[in-house]
């Protein structure tokens, strides 16, 4: 199975909004509403930020939002803050009853 | 709340078998999927596979021939075995819980353990 495709890096100034894309196929992203997004700071375990495409776990800022269109899911961070600088990964189940992660996106706050 | 902790050797020789255990505390291992995920230094996350508490498994096709994930409900633990390792298997290995029913996410995660493959 191939990793989901994400841009290697995205940057923005404090207060701006950025969007990270996650492109798969109809056998993963496009076939299920179970895309989740994870934030990972250096040396730390990933933390779920969005689940089931657009839902936020308790405690996650409402500056984080998710959506999906066809085979591409997106994570938007609005009101960018210094603490948002991290790596972000999407994940999806597949039609083979396996899971796949995205290639990862490094978010830089300028 | 539920916490996960990985344990096992930090150094494995090439061609040998990597073995890790994840201990689940603060909750039961029942009714969930228990997953292993790895991250080579400086690279992205790779899903290795998972085991359901009943013992059924699913593996990443690229690793399927070398991976076994098992569960011990009496000890609230699950384990990873990866055979015939090479330097490419050097990574931080994470264990994580996945719910088969909504909310569907990997949460929580263990802190991760670095395994280096080297002679």
Closest CA to B109 of A51, A87, A98, A45: A45
CB contact (8 A) between residue A52 and residue B102: yes
Q: Tell me the mean pLDDT in the region A65-84.
A: 98
Bridge-based pairing state of the strands B11-12 and B113-117? parallel
Q: What is chain A's mean pLDDT, rounded?
A: 97
pLDDT at A109 over 90: yes
CB contact (8 A) between residue B59 and residue A100: no
pLDDT at residue B101, rounded to an integer: 81
Q: Tell me the mean pLDDT in the region A7-32.
A: 97
Q: What is the largest CA-CA distance in chain B?
A: 44
Dist. CA A57–CA A46, nearest whole Å: 14
pLDDT at residue B78, rounded to an integer: 97
And the tokens for A92? 């999806």
Dist. CA B94–CA B112, nearest whole Å: 4
Low-confidence ranges of chain B (pLDDT < 50): none
Which sign, positive or negative, has the C-alpha torsion B6, B8, B12, B17? negative
Mutation for A interface: B106, B108, B111, most A CBs within 10 A: B106
Mutation for B interface: A99, A103, A105, most B CBs within 10 A: A99
Q: b/e per residue, A56-77, with b = 16+ CB within 10 A?
A: beeebeeebbbebeebbbbbeb
* Minimum-distance CB partner of A48 among B61, B62, B105: B105
pLDDT at residue A50, rounded to an integer: 97
B39-64 pLDDT, tens per residue? Answer: 999 999 999 999 999 999 999 999 99
And the tokens for B46? 């790779």
Dist. CA A101–CA B37, nearest whole Å: 10
Which residues of B fall within a CB distance of 8 Å from A103? Answer: 44
pLDDT over 70 for what percent of chain B? 100
CB contact (8 A) between residue A52 and residue B104: yes
- Give the confidence band of A18 by pLDDT, cuts at 50, 70, 90: very high
Dist. CA B62–CA B38, nearest whole Å: 13
Q: Tell me the mean pLDDT in the region A42-62.
A: 96
| Closest approach of B37 to chain A, Cα-based (Å) | 10
* Minimum-distance CB partner of A98 among B60, B104, B112: B60
Dist. CA A84–CA A12, nearest whole Å: 10
pLDDT at A74 over 80: yes
Dist. CA A34–CA A25, nearest whole Å: 14
- DSSP, residue by residue, A30-97: GG-S--EEEEE-TTS--EEEEBTTTB--TTS-TTEEEEEETTEEEEEE-S--GGG-EEEEEEEE-TTS
pLDDT at residue B102, rounded to an integer: 77
Dist. CA A76–CA A81, nearest whole Å: 13
CB contact (8 A) between residue A102 and residue B44: yes
pLDDT at residue A16, rounded to an integer: 97
Backbone dihedral angles phi then psi of residue B31, each to the nearest 5 degrees: 70, 20
pLDDT at residue B31, rounded to an integer: 87
* Minimum-distance CB partner of B45 among A47, A48, A101: A101
């Amino acid at each position: 199975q191939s990793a989901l495709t994400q841009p290697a890096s995205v940057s923005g100034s404090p207060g701006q909004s950025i969007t990270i894309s996650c492109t798969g196929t109809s056998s993963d992203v496009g076939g299920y509403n179970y895309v989740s997004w994870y934030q990972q700071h250096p040396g730390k375990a990933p933390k779920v930020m969005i689940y089931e495409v657009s839902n936020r776990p308790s405690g996650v800022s409402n500056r984080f939002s998710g959506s999906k269109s066809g085979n591409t899911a997106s994570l938007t961070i609005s009101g960018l803050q210094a603490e948002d600088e991290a790596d972000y990964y999407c994940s999806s189940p597949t039609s083979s009853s396996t899971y796949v992660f995205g290639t990862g996106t490094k978010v830089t706050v300028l | 709340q539920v916490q996960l902790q990985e344990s096992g050797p930090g150094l494995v020789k090439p061609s040998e078998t990597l073995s890790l255990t994840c201990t689940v505390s603060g909750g039961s291992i029942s009714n969930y999927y228990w997953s292993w995920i790895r991250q080579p230094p400086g690279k992205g996350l790779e899903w290795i596979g998972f085991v359901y508490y009943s013992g059924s498994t699913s593996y990443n096709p690229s690793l399927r021939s070398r991976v076994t994930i098992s569960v011990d409900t009496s000890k609230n633990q699950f384990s990873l075995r990866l055979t015939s390792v090479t330097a490419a298997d050097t990574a931080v290995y994470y264990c994580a819980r996945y719910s088969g029913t909504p909310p569907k996410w990997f949460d929580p995660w263990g802190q991760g353990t670095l395994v280096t493959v080297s002679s």
